């Protein structure tokens, strides 16, 4: 088995686990924080938007079963890639989108996918998602892990109420 890592910041990490969790080849999806310079940040600290961290998910996957390119495709379909100020009603640095690359090949593929999305004409504003080198990933507190399974009613209310689900439906035609 060829295990690899992919790290994506897509706004609230609660909404970024379920979309990846259902695919064969995805071995784990962990909610956490990355991109900042404070060691061992907490949810409360990251939410102050003063640490440089973003809420993110780190995916361990078997690249013999699911490709990094497929993970990128899934990622783009979960976010508003034109929003430079956060995602949906979550605002600030900690909710900005990013692809954190672990290898030069991931960097190349991420840049290529971003360019293809920009050229597609799907959005009339520039793609604001950052592509950055991976930094230390800190696992979030246990209460944030697999939130969609632990708190399905609140999760669904949040995903719909934030505007994320309607955006996905409006822009992709489904909730994939």
Q: What is the Cα Rg of the chain in Å?
A: 15
**Catalytic residue among 6, 9, 12, 98, which?**
12
Q: List the structure tokens of 112.
A: 């290529």
In angstroms, what CA-CA distances link 166 with 74, 100, 138?
A: 16, 26, 30
3-state secondary structure at position 136: coil
- Give the orientation angle of helix 68-76 with respect to helix 104-119, to 10 degrees: 40
In angstroms, what CA-CA distances link 39 with 33, 36, 126, 152?
A: 10, 8, 33, 31
Annotated catalytic, 15? no
The total of other beta-carbon atoms located within 10 Å of residue 174's CB is: 7
Q: Which sequence positions are flagged as catalytic?
A: 12
């Amino acid at each position: 088995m060829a295990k690899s890592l992919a790290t994506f910041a897509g706004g609230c990490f609660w909404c970024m686990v379920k979309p990846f969790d259902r695919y064969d080849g995805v071995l784990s999806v962990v909610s956490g924080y990355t991109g900042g310079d404070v060691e061992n940040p907490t949810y409360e600290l990251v939410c102050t938007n003063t640490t440089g961290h973003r809420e993110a998910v780190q995916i361990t996957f078997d690249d013999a079963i699911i490709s990094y390119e497929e993970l990128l495709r899934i990622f783009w379909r979960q976010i508003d890639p034109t929003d430079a100020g956060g995602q949906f009603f979550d605002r600030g640095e900690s909710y900005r989108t990013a692809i954190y690359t672990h290898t030069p090949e991931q960097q190349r593929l991420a840049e290529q996918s971003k360019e293809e999305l920009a050229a597609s004409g799907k959005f009339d504003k520039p793609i604001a998602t950052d592509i950055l080198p991976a930094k230390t990933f800190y696992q979030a507190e246990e209460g944030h892990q697999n939130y969609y399974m632990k708190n399905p009613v609140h999760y669904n209310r949040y995903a719909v109420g934030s505007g994320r689900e309607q955006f996905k439906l409006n822009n992709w035609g489904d909730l994939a």
